[in-house]
């Protein structure tokens, strides 16, 4: 029945203060207040409804996204929301849109790679959304290999301009979000050519469309690249294709914090690492780690609540069947994902600190932690997105057949989330960057340069020094093993930062104890999953492995009575979850049944096409094959 909490019996089992855990999950009382307030604002505003997305055509879907983005922006302006509140609004609006790339990449690129003068000119226009930007780096022929990009930017000293050109089909910009139909400007990455000499890939601000009638400017060919994975999903985003035909831009539209070109045509490289040109990607990678905990926690919330509602088998003397959450197999699949959601939350908090710290150091021209920041953002982006994409799919399977319904919210969540394993850097390519960083560290063992920070533990691998000459053997030849080592390195960071989190003051009855259980589940599940490696390297004995497995089972039993409360702590509204299986009151079956009849296919009892195709079949009016 409506209004009845079908999960009340589960909530009454909780052994900790859920409200205190909500604060831990949000990060602070202030962050919880903002998040709670904005999530309810979005959930209560029909302008942000999203339950009809799967029934819209691509053009209807996209127009609806434009409407929502404009409505969100109006809400932000009318309510005078802060940037923190606006970011939360965008999060709870929960729809990939051009604004993500405008705010998440175009503006950060100007802030990170533009000079003070360029920032003063372009940022006010961007903040007021008087221009809409995108980040145009990837091309049809190159994405991972940035140094392989083919778009050219040739300096013309006669006119003090750059000529931006797409020399080949494969140099067409391909994938940039917001580019296809909306962006008026792009940060376009191109090979800088001055006086016939190449100077690597740099960023250029290029206007694409008229600010009067939105038509593409002279020399610009631009459009959408077409439908993507899933029906609704990421098709709310206009990922685009863009070609330049000798487009001229003023010299001062090359982002010049890293490199400069003077009006005399002299190329200068600042005394900052060239890799700062990649800075925007590093920024987004650290936001993606925080996003991973959000996406995974959402799927886990749905699967946990439904696992407590669903009963199957085990009825004794006509009594109720067994809740599937009580099956050890269900717990062994679900609870490590619950632990991962919390682990990724805390590693996301730490990575945000690391990124802020490296940014502050860069302002003082201290580049000492840039390599570690690159390795951590690349590796943790790879690890958390792979685990989250796999975890969302596992949550769908944990919900049985009903997990495959759009009304479960899981298919759409998966379809929207999975490109995170590719964008902002293919996950394997990024792990190879971590492997390169680890190998460079090994090569420096024994020198005066001592490993610190997240690689400090490597001083304890002195034995690698003896075989150092061995590890010089082809990096490519060893890349599969090196990628595994990179994952292990990142997992060590995740576990270490979870443990560090538990050493902080954590208020609330039973809260720290619950987090300790989740931390131990995360670590022991890894040990169980990779026990072959631990055993073959002599890190543990078979007895240790058996003890670990026993402890893991015990920990699952400790989590069981608190599972619903642990997902309640995410404080997600039913609107944001978008899932009948995950609804707060657990009143699943009536809602599933009601939702079915709302499908457009049920608008008529007799389906379109019956008279044309089915009736002739049934009436044998079509000659039947000899069966």
Ligand X SMILES: CCCCCCCCCCCCCCCCCCCCC/C=C/C(=O)SCCNC(=O)CCNC(=O)[C@H](O)C(C)(C)COP(=O)(O)OP(=O)(O)OC[C@H]1O[C@@H](n2cnc3c(N)ncnc32)[C@H](O)[C@@H]1OP(=O)(O)O
In the region spanning residues 425 to 454, those forming contacts with ligand X, defined by CB under 6 A, are 425, 429, 433, 436-437, 440
Residue 147 sits in the site that holds ligand X (CB under 6 A): yes
Strands 161-165 and 152-156: antiparallel
CB of 12 to ligand X, least distance (A): 38
In the region spanning residues 35 to 64, those forming contacts with ligand X, defined by CB under 6 A, are none
Residue 482 sits in the site that holds ligand X (CB under 6 A): no
Q: Which does 234 bind (CB under 5 to 8 A by kind): ligand X, ligand FAD, none?
A: ligand FAD
Q: Which stretch binds ligand X (CB under 6 A): 46-54, 96-104, 357-365, 403-411?
A: 96-104
- Rounded CA-CA distance 335/66 in Å is 38
- Rounded CA-CA distance 81/580 in Å is 31
Token duo for residue 195: 């006086």
CA dihedral over 83, 89, 91, 97, signed as positive or negative: negative
Q: How many residues does the chain have?
A: 627
Q: Which does 108 bind (CB under 5 to 8 A by kind): ligand X, ligand FAD, none?
A: none
- Rounded CA-CA distance 167/149 in Å is 11
Under 8 Å between Cβ of 114 and 257? yes
- Rounded CA-CA distance 584/578 in Å is 11
For residue 522, the SS3 value is helix
For residue 153, what are the β-bridge partners?
Answer: 164, 192
Residue 72 sits in the site that holds ligand X (CB under 6 A): yes
Q: Which does 69 bind (CB under 5 to 8 A by kind): ligand X, ligand FAD, none?
A: ligand X
Under 8 Å between Cβ of 487 and 383? yes
In the region spanning residues 7 to 36, those forming contacts with ligand X, defined by CB under 6 A, are none
Strands (E), 91-228: 133-136, 152-156, 161-165, 173-174, 185-194, 197-207, 220-224
Catalytic residue among 83, 85, 424, 505: 424
Q: Which is nearer to ligand FAD, 121 or 228 (CB)?
A: 228
CB of 97 to ligand X, least distance (A): 6
CB of 107 to ligand X, least distance (A): 9
Task: Find the binder of ligand X among 180, 240, 348, 371 (CB under 6 A).
Answer: 371
Please, what is the end-to-end C-alpha distance for the chain in angstroms?
50
CB of 135 to ligand FAD, least distance (A): 5
Task: Find the binder of ligand X among 103, 162, 346, 522 (CB under 6 A).
Answer: 103
Under 8 Å between Cβ of 281 and 424? yes
- Rounded CA-CA distance 535/544 in Å is 9
Matching residue, tokens 């127009």: 63
Q: Which stretch binds ligand X (CB under 6 A): 16-24, 179-187, 418-426, 477-485?
A: 418-426
Token duo for residue 181: 């139909």
CB of 277 to ligand X, least distance (A): 8
CB of 176 to ligand X, least distance (A): 7
CB of 155 to ligand X, least distance (A): 22
Burial class (CB in 10 A: 0-12, 13-18, 19+), 128: exposed
CB of 87 to ligand X, least distance (A): 4
Q: Which does 90 bind (CB under 5 to 8 A by kind): ligand X, ligand FAD, none?
A: ligand X
Binding site for ligand FAD (CB under 6 A): 101, 135-138, 143-144, 175-177, 234, 239, 419, 422-423, 425-426, 428-429, 432
Residue 184 sits in the site that holds ligand X (CB under 6 A): no
Q: Which does 93 bind (CB under 5 to 8 A by kind): ligand FAD, ligand X, none?
A: ligand X
Instruction: Report the candidate in 374, 380, 379, 353 with the shortest Cα–Cα distance to residue 504.
Output: 353
Q: Which does 484 bind (CB under 5 to 8 A by kind): ligand X, ligand FAD, none?
A: none
Under 8 Å between Cβ of 395 and 414? no
For residue 377, the SS3 value is helix
Q: Which is nearer to ligand FAD, 348 or 425 (CB)?
A: 425
Matching residue, tokens 């039973």: 510
Residue 67 sits in the site that holds ligand X (CB under 6 A): no
Under 8 Å between Cβ of 283 and 112? yes
Residue 135 sits in the site that holds ligand X (CB under 6 A): yes
Residue 275 sits in the site that holds ligand X (CB under 6 A): yes
Q: Which is nearer to ligand FAD, 429 or 545 (CB)?
A: 429
Under 8 Å between Cβ of 262 and 196? no
Token duo for residue 146: 């940035």
Residue 472 sits in the site that holds ligand X (CB under 6 A): no
Token duo for residue 220: 């610009």
CB of 80 to ligand X, least distance (A): 13
Q: Which is nearer to ligand X, 66 or 499 (CB)?
A: 66
Determine the size of the site formed for ligand X (CB under 6 A).
40
- Rounded CA-CA distance 289/352 in Å is 9
Q: Which is nearer to ligand FAD, 285 or 345 (CB)?
A: 285
Q: Which is nearer to ligand FAD, 10 or 100 (CB)?
A: 100
> Annotated catalytic, 424?
yes
Q: Which is nearer to ligand FAD, 224 or 426 (CB)?
A: 426
Q: Which does 50 bind (CB under 5 to 8 A by kind): ligand FAD, ligand X, none?
A: none
Q: Which does 239 bind (CB under 5 to 8 A by kind): ligand X, ligand FAD, none?
A: ligand FAD
DSSP per-residue codes, 129-147? TSS-EEEE--BSS-SS-GG
Q: Which does 203 bind (CB under 5 to 8 A by kind): ligand X, ligand FAD, none?
A: none
- Rounded CA-CA distance 260/113 in Å is 11
Burial letters 153-162, b for 16+ CB under 10 A, else e: bbbeeeeebb
177 is in an annotated binding site: yes
CB of 478 to ligand FAD, least distance (A): 12
Under 8 Å between Cβ of 254 and 203? yes
Residue 498 sits in the site that holds ligand X (CB under 6 A): no
Q: Which residue is nearest to ligand X (CB)?
A: 104
Q: Which does 578 bind (CB under 5 to 8 A by kind): ligand FAD, ligand X, none?
A: none
Task: Please enumerate in sequence order all residues whose Cβ is within 8 A of that of 532, keeping only pairs 6 or more positions apart, or say none.
Answer: none
262 is in an annotated binding site: no
Burial class (CB in 10 A: 0-12, 13-18, 19+), 87: middle
Annotated binding site for FAD: 138, 177
Annotated binding site: 138, 177
Can you give the binding site for ligand X, defined by CB under 6 A? 69, 72-73, 76, 83, 86-87, 90, 93, 97, 99-100, 103-104, 135, 137-138, 143-147, 177, 275, 278, 281-282, 284, 287, 370-371, 374, 423-425, 429, 433, 436-437, 440
Q: Any idea which residues carry the catalytic annotation?
A: 424
């Amino acid at each position: 029945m409506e209004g009845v909490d079908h999960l009340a019996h589960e909530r009454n089992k909780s052994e900790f203060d859920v409200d205190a855990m909500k604060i831990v999950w949000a990060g602070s009382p202030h962050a919880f207040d903002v998040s709670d307030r904005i999530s309810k604002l979005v959930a209560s505003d029909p302008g942000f409804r999203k339950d009809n997305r799967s029934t819209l055509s691509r053009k209807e879907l996209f127009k609806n996204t434009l409407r929502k983005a404009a409505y969100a922006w109006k809400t932000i302006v009318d309510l005078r929301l802060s940037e923190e509140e606006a970011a939360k609004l965008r999060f709870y609006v929960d729809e990939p849109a051009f604004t993500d790339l405008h705010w998440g990449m175009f503006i950060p690129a100007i802030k990170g790679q533009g000079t003070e003068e360029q920032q003063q000119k372009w940022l006010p226009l961007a903040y007021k959304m008087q221009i809409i930007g995108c980040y145009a780096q990837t091309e049809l022929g190159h994405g991972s290999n940035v140094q392989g990009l083919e778009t050219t930017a040739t300096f013309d000293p006669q006119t003090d301009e750059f000529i931006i050109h797409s020399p080949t089909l494969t140099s067409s910009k391909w994938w940039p979000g917001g580019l296809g139909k909306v962006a008026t400007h792009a940060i376009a990455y191109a090979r800088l050519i001055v006086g016939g000499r190449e100077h690597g890939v740099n960023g250029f601000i290029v206007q694409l469309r008229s600010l009067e009638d939105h038509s593409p400017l002279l020399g610009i060919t631009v459009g959408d690249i077409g439908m993507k994975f899933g029906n609704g999903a990421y098709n709310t985003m206009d990922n685009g294709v863009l070609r330049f035909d000798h487009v001229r831009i003023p010299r001062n539209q090359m982002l010049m914090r890293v490199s400069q070109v003077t009006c005399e045509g002299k190329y200068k490289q600042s005394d900052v690492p060239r890799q700062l040109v990649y800075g925007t990607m590093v920024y987004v990678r650290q936001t993606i780690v925080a996003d991973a905990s959000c996406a995974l926690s959402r799927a886990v919330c749905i699967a946990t609540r439904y696992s407590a509602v669903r009963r199957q088998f085990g009825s004794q003397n006509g009594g109720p069947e067994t809740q599937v959450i009580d099956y050890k197999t269900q717990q062994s699949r679900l609870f490590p994902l619950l632990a991962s959601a919390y682990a990724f939350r805390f590693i996301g908090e730490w990575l945000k600190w690391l990124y802020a710290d490296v940014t502050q150091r860069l302002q003082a021209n201290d580049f000492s932690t840039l390599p570690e920041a690159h390795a951590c953002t690349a590796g943790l982006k790879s690890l958390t997105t792979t685990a989250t994409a796999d975890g969302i799919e596992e949550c769908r399977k944990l919900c049985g057949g009903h997990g495959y319904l759009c009304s479960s919210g899981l298919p759409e969540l998966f379809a929207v989330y999975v490109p995170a394993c590719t964008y902002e850097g293919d996950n394997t390519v990024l792990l190879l960057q971590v492997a390169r960083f680890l190998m460079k560290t090994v090569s420096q063992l024994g020198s005066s340069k001592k490993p610190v920070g997240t690689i400090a533990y490597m001083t304890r691998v002195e034995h690698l020094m003896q075989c150092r000459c061995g590890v010089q053997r082809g990096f490519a030849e060893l890349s599969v093993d090196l990628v595994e080592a990179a994952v292990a390195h990142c997992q060590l960071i995740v576990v270490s930062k979870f443990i560090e989190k538990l050493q902080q003051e954590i208020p609330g009855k039973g809260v720290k104890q619950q987090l300790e259980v989740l931390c131990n589940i995360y670590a022991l599940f890894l040990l169980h999953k990779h026990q072959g490696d631990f055993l073959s390297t002599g890190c543990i004995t078979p007895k240790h492995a058996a003890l670990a497995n026993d402890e893991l089972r015990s920990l699952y039993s400790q989590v069981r009575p608190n599972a619903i409360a642990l997902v309640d702590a995410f404080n997600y509204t039913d609107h944001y979850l978008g899932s009948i299986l995950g609804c707060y009151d657990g009143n699943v079956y009536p809602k599933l049944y009601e939702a079915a009849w709302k499908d457009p296919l049920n608008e008529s009892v007799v389906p379109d096409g019956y008279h044309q195709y089915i009736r002739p079949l049934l009436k044998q009016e079509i000659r039947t094959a000899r069966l």
